[in-house]
Amino acid sequence: MATLVPLGTAATFGVLANTAVTNTGPTVVTGDLGVSPAGAVTGFPPGTVTGTIHLNDAAAAQAQADLLTGYANALVQPVTATVPTELGGTTLTPGVYNSASGTFGLNGTLILDAQGNPNAVFIFKTATTLITGAAGNVSLINQAKSANVFWQVGSSATLGAGSTLRGSILAFTSITATTGAIVDGRLLALGAAVTLDSNAVTVPPLSTCSVVVQPVAGPVVVGQPTPVSAVVTCNGLPVSGASVTFNGGAVPVTATTNAAGIATGSLTFNTAGAATVTATVTAAGTGCACTGVVSAALPITVTPQTGPLSASPACWRVNLPFPIPSLFVATLTATLTPAQAGVTVTFYVSGLPVGTAVTNAAGVATLNAGLSILQISASTYTAVATVGGVTVQATNTLRPCFPPA
């Protein structure tokens, strides 16, 4: 399956060259235009650029570096099918395509059918050239987008006069757009010049990625694993298969988004107090090149750990109807943190065992204990359990109930 080619900062450039950008006539570039590492830009005016012209500056250099990364990505994507050299008169569905001859020609209409998937990607790979004729045209149907069409050209591309190309050309050497050629995409040349002549080059709308950390359910306690999740979307649609790294805990945790764009992991916090959780896309999934997108920080409060076993305050009352089997009774409660079911807890009053109870799924053990008249004089009770081979205990108050019934 074809995946989106990452262009990084080169995505804002309608035209990018290595040695020179040369223009004749009223070309309009909707986007940025740049040259790097050393060259010139001529023909503007009469040509116009809606973005910024970057002449051998840091932005153009970074765009060239990102273009090289994108070119390499397209180059190694597995081929879905080998198709004839001439693309005109054909309809293709999403995939990665090459030709047996190592070159592509376009002298009619090529229809790209996304089959209702707005994230569908089309990649065309040539070992040598891409040449379009005057009647060459790329038509997009069923939610296909020019932003998701890529032409990886092994040497140079030439666009015929009046032809219309959709998608981004990533040429290893040079690109020539002859008189009146229209490009709904980008002209990006790694090794040499881009030559223009009364063209319209329009950068497709940039993909908008979003990563949102979901609210954390329940208390966050020092030393206890806390489930965290984040949703990754591109242009409002879920991104599946993306790697998301959660930060803020003692150790970062990475998880992969599911079909709903949700990644779920677990963080542990070692210090009580205020903390934050962020999520960063560390590897792109389907739909968008979202790598590097960071969520807003989610503030949380980490509470101190109260211990593995805690006892709740208890009170005793007269056992009515009495006095069978005990004259007095009290409800004694102990809780394991983190919750663990099936642990036996023994309860003591005045140093003597009064019974046992087993923790439920919430880690709570409850005992209705019968007490003697001597035991009700005690002001506390104690719960004892063995967890992981270690004996733990907790003590709390034992008082008369009010009202006493």
State residue 402's pLDDT score: 76
Query: Which mean pLDDT values do the consecutive 10-residue runs of the chain (405 residues) have?
Result: 84 96 98 95 97 96 93 94 97 96 97 91 97 96 94 98 97 98 98 98 85 85 84 81 92 91 90 91 69 87 79 85 73 89 93 93 93 86 86 87 67
Nearest to 245 by CA among 268, 264, 225: 264
State residue 133's pLDDT score: 96
DSSP state of 67: H
State residue 322's pLDDT score: 56
State residue 195's pLDDT score: 98
State residue 377's pLDDT score: 85
Cα-based torsion angle of the residue sequence 325, 331, 332, 333 in order, rounded to the nearest 10 degrees? 140
State residue 5's pLDDT score: 87
Q: Alpha-carbon distance 147 to 363, whole Å?
A: 53
State residue 237's pLDDT score: 76
The answer to whether 268 and 253 are in contact (CB under 8 A) is no
Cβ of 92: how many Cβ atoms within 10 Å?
A: 17
State residue 354's pLDDT score: 93
Buried b (16+ CB within 10 A) or exposed e, 206-226: ebebbbebbebeeebbeebeb
Q: Alpha-carbon distance 211 to 43, whole Å?
A: 42
